[in-house]
Amino acid sequence: MKILVPVKRVIDYNVKVRVKPDQTGVDLANVKMSMNPFCEIAVEEAVRLKEKGVASEIVAVSIGPQQAQETIRTALAMGADRGVLIQTDADLEPLAVAKLLKAVVGEEAPQLVLMGKQAIDGDNNATGQMLAALLGWPQATFASKVEIADGKAVVTREIDGGLQTLEAALPAIVTADLRLNEPRYASLPNIMKAKKKPIDVKAVADYGVDVASRLKVLKVTEPPVRAGGIKVESAEQLVGKLKEAGVL
Partner 1 sequence: MAVLVVAEHDNASVKDATNKTITAALALSKDVDVLVAGQGAGAAAGAAAGIAGVRKVLHAEGAAFEQGIAEAIEGLVVPLMANYDAVLFAATATGKNAAPRIAAALDVSPISDIQEVVSGNTFVRPIYAGNALETIESSDAKKVITVRTTAFGAAGAGGSAAVESVAAGAATAAITFKGAEIVKSERPELAGAKRVVSGGRAMGSADEFHNVIEPLADKLGAAVGASRAAVDAGYAPNDYQVGQTGKVVAPELYVAVGISGAIQHLAGMKDSKVIVAINKDADAPIFAIADYGLVADYKAAVPDLMGELTKAGL
In the region spanning residues 123 to 142, those forming contacts with partner 1, defined by CB under 8 A, are: 123-134, 137-142
Please name which of 170, 172, 176, 174 lies closest in space to residue 149, comparing C-alpha atoms.
170
203 or 217: whose CB is closer to partner 1? Answer: 217
Find the binding residues for partner 1 in span 170-209 (CB under 8 A): 172, 177-179
Minimum Å gap between C-beta 21 and partner 1 is: 13
Q: Which position among 94, 113, 183, 207 is part of the footprint of partner 1 (CB under 8 A)?
A: 94
Torsion-angle region of residue 23: left (phi > 0), alpha (psi -120 to 50) or beta?
left
Return the ∠ at Cα 73 (arms to 18 and 121), rounded to 5°: 25
Candidates 52-60, 74-82, 184-192, 238-246 — which segment interacts with partner 1 by CB under 8 A? 238-246
Q: Which position among 56, 67, 165, 187 is part of the footprint of partner 1 (CB under 8 A)?
A: 165
Q: Which position among 120, 191, 199, 209 is part of the footprint of partner 1 (CB under 8 A)?
A: 120
Q: Which of helix, strand or coil describes residue 204?
A: helix
Q: Which position among 57, 91, 108, 121 is part of the footprint of partner 1 (CB under 8 A)?
A: 121
Binding mask 140-159 for partner 1 (x = CB under 8 A): xxx-x---------x--xxx
242 forms part of the interface with partner 1 (CB under 8 A): yes
- In sequence order, the 6+-apart residues with CB closer than 8 A to the CB of 124 are 94, 118
Minimum Å gap between C-beta 230 and partner 1 is: 6
What one-letter code names the amino acid at 39?
Answer: C
- Report the C-alpha gap between 15 and 31 in whole angstroms: 8
| Strand blocks (E) in 65-151 | 82-87, 112-116, 139-149
